[in-house]
Structure 1
Amino acid sequence: MSTSLIGRKLGKYQIVELIGHGGMATVYKAYQSDVDRYVAVKVLTPHPGHQAGFVDRFRQEARTIARLQHPHILPLYDYGDEDGILFLVTPYIDGGSLADKMRRGAIPPEETLKLLEQIASALDQAHRQGIIHRDIKPDNVLLNREGFALLADFGIAKLMEGSGMTTTGGLIGTPAYIAPEQAQNAAVDGRADIYSLGVVVYEMLAGQQPYRSETPVQVILKHLTEAPPRLSSVKADLPAALDTVLERALAKEAADRYQTAGIFVDDFHRALKGEPLLPNVATTKTRPDLSSVSLPVNPTVRLSSTNAPSDTQNPLTTTGNTTIITNAGPSPWILIGGFALIAALLVLVLLVLINQQNQGDNVQATAVIASNTETGGAATTVPRTAVAAANVSAPDGTARFSTQAILGDTIRIEMENLQPSGAENVYAVWMENTSSGELLRLPDMTVDAFGDGAIIFTSDESLITHYNRLFITREQGDTDTPSENVLYAGETLPEVMNALREILVSSPDGLAVAESSGGSAGGGEPGSENYEEPEAAGSSLLDGALTEAEVAMRHAGLAAGSTTIGAAQTHAEHTINILQGTTEDFNGNGRGENPGRGVGTIFFIDAIDERLTSAAAIASPEVQSQIELIRVCVANARGWINDVIAAESTFFTAADIAEVSQEMGESTMLAAAIIEGIDLNGNGTVEPFEGECGLAQIRDFGVSVANISLFAQAE
């Protein structure tokens, strides 16, 4: 595509400048006058092979991308189809890309960790919604002027797979970063993105990609057959444990990799701190020997006539020439891989769309790998009893919880690819408590012309602590009893629901709020033979932690505002005892005082941690990833508590206020952070990152633990 769109208006966007283009799209800078801002407009490359339903798929994929809301995912403002021109509209980012940053050399490990945390949190958010990126690479990680990462191009690779730019079964990826299963045209899930992210991290640290060769084809072959070079062989000054971390991230088998990006981050951080790595619980499979596989060294290369500008400081830009690689001779390609798929392959055509970055032997290409073998499209069958286990196929729908008046009282369900329903044959949506059998019928789901269905329902009770299973049936009219023909279902384990109840709503270990009245679970009236004293109702574990932390914060402030060292020591004793739940006489006046509830913030966060550990031990990887968000906040709070205690302990040996003036200010700030967290990266949001979230954020992230993915069931 040339610059012919400059000066033209697409919808309400005035095209003003060409930014760049590649094999899949051309990106323009445009002006949106109604809100007085510049945007980036990505125009999909027209192709004669576009199939009849491509426009519908484009709209559906655009709606899916638009639902992705995360601080480190580039948002989709708008999309459109004007005179056959399909386009996507995103913010205009002028801070460059990670690729631009990496051209200046290797990135220090601490800065790499910061960027990895941001990219990984974006990926985990997308994966929880069943969305796979498929083309993670430095060019698709944009950096704003403050240096914070924004992951771009979600959905583009998937859209192109069915666009006619590939043959049936084809896929799009970038050879330098492509996962082995993606290179073999096999089914992929979020772990393919984790592999690609591992390649990016290796390159950030080493200053070079792990697999390099003369041609993209040979690079792909190395992804399939060669173990990644040890990072220590390139950068001997980095912690040796990073070798193990990257080996796991770049494992050939998806089952041997980190199962979530968040776990990858956790191990990376442990490696930097010199702490033991997490146990590798993945199941290692025996792999076929692919050492003898070879590919043509000198394929015919046809270069397109359109050159792209080198500017990459904008969203969604793909720079370089598009290169298509075909076999030079009449003989078929030597087959890749040693799997059963090889026996069925008659021809393997490898088409590569290369984004040349003028980086010497770095291969920046987008490959289109095609096969004449069609894979079945049947929905994955998930038995009723196995829904809570790990499911690596993309879900058919998602249910997300939020809060209106009561914690977790609102549910939003979104489904795709449904058949339209009639007035007398409806999609009935049910919630169930699998322990008690209690059922709740939600409003029926309506389906639009594109097969998308959605409902939003708000209850007068907490849904996340009352129900743990969601399922959809076809019903003839109104009924209180679901039919046995369950079409879609998903659930969390009862143990997870119970852990959420104790952490967020009510726990026997919480601060006592009232005594239960009337009979007990064992039956009987007070004074009767079989009467059992009812267990005292308690507030949630989180409420207990917050109550004690708020009192401690006030006393830390009083200590900081003291004008004499004696007064500061008195309030420091109060602060430390409240946090620890103790009555120690720190200032030596003969009285150990604790003006709090006497339980201690530490007691409650230990209890929260214990519930999370128990739930995570039996939960699916998807739920474990959500639980990890809470654990990060708990770990942050614990660290800040220790810092406050350390700072205020210095008061007891000081002769005057001047000696501890710095510690006074630090302890006040840290005591507040225990509750509210710290916006460490300055993006206006306290996120579930190390050093950011505190106790107050646990409610928000805790609700998301109950989110449910829905899968098609056996008929």
Structure 2
Amino acid sequence: MTGHDLLGGRYELRGVLGYGGMAEVRDGWDTRLNRAVAVKLLHPALRGQPDIRRRFADEARSAAALTHPNIVAVHDFGEHGGTPFIVMERLPGQSLADLIALGPMPPEHVRSMLIDVLRALEAAHAAGVLHRDIKPGNVLISAIGDSMKVADFGIAKTGGASHTMTGRVLGTMSYLTPERVAGAPASAADDLYAAGVMGYEALLGRRAFPQDNPIALARAIMDDPPPPLASLRPDVEPTLVAVIDRAMARVPHQRFGSAAEMRAALTGELIPPVAVAPLPSSPRPATRVLDEPLPPSMHHMAAPHYVAAPPPRHRLSGRTRKVLAGTAVLGAFAIAAAALAADPFSSAPTQTVNTSSTM
């Protein structure tokens, strides 16, 4: 395609904004509406792979269905000369990755960033869309610089998109939950965990898991959590630290149940309680008069809201602990090896640029 051709008879392509393992993003101009756009083009080497073409099309459909101020807008999707393309909102600002590279961010900026990302995830999850690749490079500053926008739904999953390879782990490994590294299916909780990791990194100005070797990285995610945030940034107010710590908890049930719950913890909002169906009514028994009063009840001393203590942990035998540990390590090795061998989307480095999407 020459520089004088119009993509799809409408879009003028200009300079390259960035590269990734799956696509390149070009600066563009919509000649019909006279506005700047960003155009994502599937790499020529991947055009002949039906699975990848379907994933590329799903990105366009998933993002186009999400109309939200904290999500990068998709304007158009098509094919030109055998090359699929996606036309997106053009953002002139930087990404969260660019800001983190400059050093630790102020806590109030990190809180605002997380709130914006969680609003985007609320909208996506409500529409049945999992992002599955939340990371700083996919969080972009809005055109006027007053908010953050989530981009790149390239490996997003919806209820109707089930063509991804069974057992294949997709997403940037540093932001995967321990259970995803072990091969568990993706869920909305994975996006929230990744948001927590981003908050951790934004406050420190560095990666939460600095390991470069994928096997070492997998082991760290599963067995060696990063140092407590409070010990590294004692100046950060406890609420923000507690939210990030909870989002990054290794045990899934200790994390937030939804993006709305996590955002409410940051803002202090109250989430309406879930309605519970009333129990079937039964005749009230006759009042019984006791011979002497009962001892004081602990219920009278309880606070209005409390968290029940977890059940006592059963100590495993030494042999059982060794077997479980060995299984986890082997699983991590297998996942890391599979990620390197099977996933073409992580084979090429991404160029950090100012763009409306990274790949």
Classify the TM-score, shorter chain: 0.7 to 0.9
- State whether residues 40 and 90 of structure 1, in contact with CA within 8 Å, keep that contact through their aligned partners in structure 2: yes
1:44 and 2:65 correspond:
no
Report the equivalent of 1:88. 86
Change (3 A) 1:57 1:211: closer
- State whether residues 197 and 208 of structure 2, in contact with CA within 8 Å, keep that contact through their aligned partners in structure 1: yes
Amino acid aligned to 1:153? D
Report the equivalent of 1:591. none
Change (3 A) 1:192 1:37: same
Larger Rg computed on CA atoms? 1
1:10 and 2:4 correspond:
no
Q: CA deviation at 1:117?
A: 1.2
Q: Could you say which structure has the higher strand fraction?
A: 1
Change (3 A) 1:66 1:8: same
Report the equivalent of 2:66. 68
Report the equivalent of 1:237. 235
Q: Could you say which structure has the higher helix fraction?
A: 2
Q: CA deviation at 1:131?
A: 0.3
- State whether residues 255 and 283 of structure 1, in contact with CA within 8 Å, keep that contact through their aligned partners in structure 2: no
Distance 1:186 1:283 in 2: 24
- Matched ranges for 1:114-263 at <5 A: 114-144=112-142, 145-158=144-157, 168-263=166-261
Change (3 A) 1:35 1:48: closer
Change (3 A) 1:353 1:55: closer
Q: CA deviation at 1:293?
A: 5.5
- Matched ranges for 1:273-288 at <5 A: none
Distance 2:335 2:183 in 1: 14
Amino acid aligned to 2:110? T
Distance 1:26 1:213 in 2: 27
- State whether residues 39 and 85 of structure 2, in contact with CA within 8 Å, keep that contact through their aligned partners in structure 1: yes
Change (3 A) 1:43 1:61: same
**Secondary structure of the corresponding residue to residue 268 of structure 1:** helix
Q: CA deviation at 1:59?
A: 3.7
Provide Cα deviations, 1:393-452, integer angstroms capped at 9, x if missing partner.
Answer: xxxxxxxxxxxxxxxxxxxxxxxxxxxxxxxxxxxxxxxxxxxxxxxxxxxxxxxxxxxx
Amino acid aligned to 1:353? S
Report the equivalent of 1:23. 21
Amino acid aligned to 1:154? F
- State whether residues 6 and 17 of structure 1, in contact with CA within 8 Å, keep that contact through their aligned partners in structure 2: no
Q: CA deviation at 1:239?
A: 2.6
Distance 1:197 1:146 in 2: 20
Distance 1:232 1:167 in 2: 40
Change (3 A) 1:280 1:222: farther
**Secondary structure of the corresponding residue to residue 37 of structure 2:** strand
- State whether residues 19 and 350 of structure 2, in contact with CA within 8 Å, keep that contact through their aligned partners in structure 1: no
Q: CA deviation at 1:267?
A: 2.3
Provide Cα deviations, 1:275-327, integer angstroms capped at 9, x if missing partner.
Answer: x9x866898999996895699xxxxxxxxxxxxxxxxxxxxxxxxxxxxxxxx
Distance 2:223 2:146 in 1: 36
- State whether residues 20 and 26 of structure 1, in contact with CA within 8 Å, keep that contact through their aligned partners in structure 2: yes
- State whether residues 131 and 153 of structure 2, in contact with CA within 8 Å, keep that contact through their aligned partners in structure 1: yes
Change (3 A) 1:346 1:224: closer
Q: CA deviation at 1:91?
A: 1.0
Report the equivalent of 1:481. none
- State whether residues 132 and 190 of structure 1, in contact with CA within 8 Å, keep that contact through their aligned partners in structure 2: yes
Distance 2:193 2:18 in 1: 27
Provide Cα deviations, 1:346-385, integer angstroms capped at 9, x if missing partner.
Answer: 9952314364679xxxxxx99xxxxxxxxxxxxxxxxxxx
- State whether residues 135 and 174 of structure 1, in contact with CA within 8 Å, keep that contact through their aligned partners in structure 2: yes
1:336 to 331, 339, 346: 331
Amino acid aligned to 2:6? K
- State whether residues 157 and 173 of structure 1, in contact with CA within 8 Å, keep that contact through their aligned partners in structure 2: no
- Matched ranges for 1:373-452 at <5 A: none
Q: CA deviation at 1:51?
A: 4.5
1:349 to 304, 323, 338: 338
Distance 1:20 1:279 in 2: 49
**Secondary structure of the corresponding residue to residue 331 of structure 2:** coil
Distance 2:205 2:234 in 1: 13
- State whether residues 7 and 16 of structure 1, in contact with CA within 8 Å, keep that contact through their aligned partners in structure 2: no
Distance 1:32 1:265 in 2: 36
**Secondary structure of the corresponding residue to residue 129 of structure 2:** coil
Amino acid aligned to 1:336? G
Distance 1:146 1:96 in 2: 9
- State whether residues 72 and 150 of structure 2, in contact with CA within 8 Å, keep that contact through their aligned partners in structure 1: yes
Change (3 A) 1:192 1:279: farther
Change (3 A) 1:58 1:246: closer
Change (3 A) 1:167 1:100: same
Amino acid aligned to 2:121? L
Distance 2:111 2:179 in 1: 26
Distance 1:110 1:154 in 2: 27
Unaligned runs of 5+ in 2: 269-302, 341-345, 353-357
Q: CA deviation at 1:210?
A: 2.0
- How many residues in Structure 1 have an aligned counterpart in Structure 2? 305
- State whether residues 80 and 88 of structure 1, in contact with CA within 8 Å, keep that contact through their aligned partners in structure 2: yes
Distance 1:191 1:234 in 2: 26
- State whether residues 47 and 82 of structure 2, in contact with CA within 8 Å, keep that contact through their aligned partners in structure 1: no
Distance 2:107 2:134 in 1: 20
Q: CA deviation at 1:52?
A: 3.8
Q: TM-score, normalised by structure 2?
A: 0.73
- State whether residues 257 and 282 of structure 1, in contact with CA within 8 Å, keep that contact through their aligned partners in structure 2: no
Q: TM-score, normalised by structure 1?
A: 0.38
Unaligned runs of 5+ in 1: 271-275, 296-333, 359-364, 367-715
Distance 2:177 2:78 in 1: 32
Distance 1:86 1:356 in 2: 20
